[in-house]
Amino acid sequence: MKSLSNRIAVWSLAVAALLGAACEGKKFVAPPVELPGYGSSAACVQGLARAYFERDTTRFEQLLAPNYIFLLNEPDPMSGETEWGRDTEVRIHRRMFRPQDFAMGPDPVPAENWLQSVDITLTPNVDFVERTDLYTTANPPGELDPTLWVAREGFYSASVFFQLAGDVDYQVNGRASFVVIEDKSKANGEVGKFMFYRWQDLGNNVTKIRAL
């Protein structure tokens, strides 16, 4: 079962300075969100950051398209897999955001890995660009009907600091590609208007930080 350590190992974000932030009493500032329903591709990414900051499984799951796929930068060292879908991603984040719900199950999250807080900054490298190659009208055809969907890709750098219950915290720096699809049938601000279709890890660096 994938857990917090697995997500940290493949987390696909951020080139930024280490925060040196395992100090007690550090106050993190929630990232802004454009609209409650995430009214643009960029706002969808900031909604992801907000879901991490608040450890909000409902908000996170609303951002994933039914045919969502996470693409690893390199094969998982344990399983050899190179990608996974929405159900696995949801399971990973439920265990990460709400480890207490799995304390009595057959595969509990170790107490020292219970997430206490997340500080996350996502910085766009370039503006979102339409991915017409993902449409059914492309050659070879994709799976998205362009009369129903608009697909756009953006590249991000970010800094993610995971404060855990144990003696070790993690700082992750890396890059990611986000493909966000827009549902043309929904109004701006409506849940499901913008959703993640692909999230690709473009490499990261993980640093263990001894908690104070």
160-186 pLDDT, tens digit each: 999 999 999 999 999 999 999 999 999
Q: Render pLDDT for 67-108 as a digit per residue (tens, 0 to 9).
A: 999 999 888 778 888 999 999 999 999 999 999 988 887 888
Task: Reply yes or no on whether the pLDDT at 26 is more than 50.
Answer: no
pLDDT band, residue 32 (cuts 50/70/90): low
Task: Reply yes or no on whether the pLDDT at 119 is more than 80.
Answer: yes
Task: Reply yes or no on whether the pLDDT at 51 is more than 80.
Answer: yes
Task: Reply yes or no on whether the pLDDT at 190 is more than 70.
Answer: yes
Task: Reply yes or no on whether the pLDDT at 20 is more than 80.
Answer: no
Q: Are 122 and 13 in contact (CB under 8 A)?
A: yes
The CATH class that applies to domain 4-21+31-210 reads: alpha beta
Report CA torsion sign: 74, 77, 82, 84: negative
Residue 23 DSSP class: -
* b/e code 112-148 from CB counts within 10 Å (16+ = b): ebbbebbbbbbebeeebeebeebbeeeeeebebebee
Q: Are 186 and 56 in contact (CB under 8 A)?
A: no
